[in-house]
Structure 1
């Protein structure tokens, strides 16, 4: 097969949203910020990583959050994610529509939908 995996997912953010993105993706979700190449850093946004997962935030003007489209993020402890979200004042909803799969949906502080799935 030609396809070998997924390198990253990009979510749109408004201009000047880097500090809010860092507070959420690093402060709440525990990701690490990656340095962007200078030519890309000039465009704004941030890159974050946890294990093999990368989430890139990219400035989009005019900005409109993705309310339906979303990355599905595999987690090892969904209850810890729920606790981190609750502790930081972020809401989430459990979704039991797929049998034998614990998952939840939330929105990042920019309004982009995220799904977390327990492996």
Structure 2
């Protein structure tokens, strides 16, 4: 359904952010994920519930965002598709990543936002952005 075909009735819901991202990692990728999401970005690792048939993984929380990482045996990282994560003080995050030797690429093209792209330690593309002031 396109915006041109939305019915003539009112909706009683709104979207209010994202609770968590669910990203794949390769088998044995938990250590690299802990370095990126925990050590580098400063997120807190959460206890991961035991799930039948689970191959592993880990979870992190920072601010109002959780990142759930699951092991995928035939893992292929996101190269173009990516989550876009809203950040306060984007410049501080960019400096943190660069100071730790982690490359970022600033991007234009999204009016009203400053943003950059980077890759996590297992190759997933990530976008971080902040509304322009």
Same fold flag (TM > 0.5): yes
Over 6 Å off, 4+ runs: none
Of the three residues 26, 30, 44, the one matched with 1:32 is 44
SS at match of 2:51: helix
CA contact (8 A) 2:55 2:72 kept: no
Identify unmatched segments of 5+ residues in structure 1: none
**Matches for 1:104-119 after TM superposition, within 5 Å:** 104-119=116-131
| Structure 2: gaps (5+ residues) | 1-12
Q: TM-score, normalised by structure 2?
A: 0.81
Could you say which structure has the larger radius of gyration? 2
Q: Number of residues paired by the alignment?
A: 119
CA 1:94/1:43 → structure 2, altered by over 3 Å: closer, same or farther? Answer: same
RMSD: 1.9
Q: Which residue of structure 1 aligns with residue 62 of structure 2?
A: 50
Q: Which has the higher contact order (CA 8 A, sep 6+)?
A: 1
How high is the TM-score relative to the length of structure 1?
A: 0.90
